[in-house]
Amino acid sequence: MSSNGQHGDAALGAYQAVADEWIDNLRRISRLPALWQRAQRVKKGATPSEVVYEQDRLKVLHYPGTGRAKHRTPLVFVFALVNRPYILDLMPDRSVVRQFVDAGFDTYLIDWGAPTHADRHLTLETYVNGYIENVVDYLRERCGVSQVSVLGYCMGGTMSAMYTALHPKKVRNLILLAAGIDFSTRAGLLNLWADEENFDVDAFIDAYGNCPAEFLQGSFMMLKPVANLVDKPIGLFENIDNDDFLDDYFTMETWLNDNIAVPGEVFREFVRKLYQQNQLVRNEMTVGRHIVNLKRITCPVLNLMAERDDLVPCAQSEPFNDLVGSNDRRSIKLSAGHIGMAVGSRAQRELWPKACAWLAERSDRA
């Protein structure tokens, strides 16, 4: 074959490859309108539940499971105020809630609801010594026990630690999941952004009333701007024919974009007293008129941390075990991110069975 013929075949092959890619991209584009309908079909919460307690905007969900609970000590999940709690029960095979229900725990979850402008004056005192305290007392009465186990995630973990320090006789076991405790670390962008030199929290809350959901969502997105704004859309386009990928993608994105505002005074306290003044580890933190002394936490403690956490670095969580008064303390680190600790396949396979076993050993049998 002549060199001209070889060059012609190569050019034709290259042209055919470009044409095939162009046609394939057009086909993918034609599927984009159907994605909106798919996104609207996402179910929020995978495990059957019932509302058993309500106060103001707060609801407590109970997960009855399919059989009688094996453990008499109830477990209550305390989530953060910045997102919806169904990340803990995202999908049937990615549910922290289901892990504990299937392990025989009488399981409950606090859904804080979405605050309005009228809630801007709510404080940490309202949440810790008000809402959490009322839920714990309700569960003690409902279940006929003197103590409950508490699992707090992220900001909910920080509030759970405060609650346990203030009401140590009511908590049987405390599990913290990616909870900020020591804010002296400079690791992580949030710690830098919230620094007093960079962020005037008083001016911010005085202007807005509540911390807007859009502000929080934008901040979280900017922690990894390329991954969130470039890689993620490209990944969606390239996997538009993969139904399993689309199910995971839209379920996760629905939650990520379901942010809620944080009551202004709670946000002000959290930023000033923790991020800027690091009062909790110094036993200077006040909730209302009460000083939070972490040494008063004497129950068993399980501290779960994510090694690739961009929101709550391990350095922010790890000191907790040395600050409490408990003799029964354990830490587990997992190579995962902040959200991966809840929904990641490795966390579901390795971390949560260990956490269930740990709690079972320290809970009363039914």
62 in catalytic set: no
Helices then strands, counting H and E runs in the chain, come out as 18, 12
Torsion of CA 42, 47, 50, 52, to 10 degrees: -120
How far, in Å, CA of 153 to CA of 80, rounded? 6
338 in catalytic set: yes
Task: Give the helix, strand, coil percentages of the chain, each rounded to 5.
Answer: 50, 15, 35
314 in catalytic set: no
Q: For residue 246, give the nearest of 31, 25, 24, 20 by alpha carbon.
A: 31
Residue of 111, 309, 314, 356 with catalytic role:
309
Residue of 119, 154, 167, 299 with catalytic role:
154
Amino acid at site 12: L
Q: Name the helix (H) or strand (E) containing 164.
A: helix 155-166
Burial (CB count <10 Å: 0-12, 13-18, 19+), residue 241: exposed
How far, in Å, CA of 129 to CA of 132, rounded? 6
Q: For residue 115, give the nearest of 257, 220, 210 by alpha carbon.
A: 210
Burial (CB count <10 Å: 0-12, 13-18, 19+), residue 321: middle
CA distances from 141 to 27, 147, 148, 165 (A): 59, 10, 11, 21
Strand 58-63 and strand 50-55: the pairing is antiparallel
Amino acid at site 104: G
Burial (CB count <10 Å: 0-12, 13-18, 19+), residue 180: buried
Residue of 106, 167, 338, 356 with catalytic role:
338
Q: Catalytic positions, please?
A: 154, 309, 338
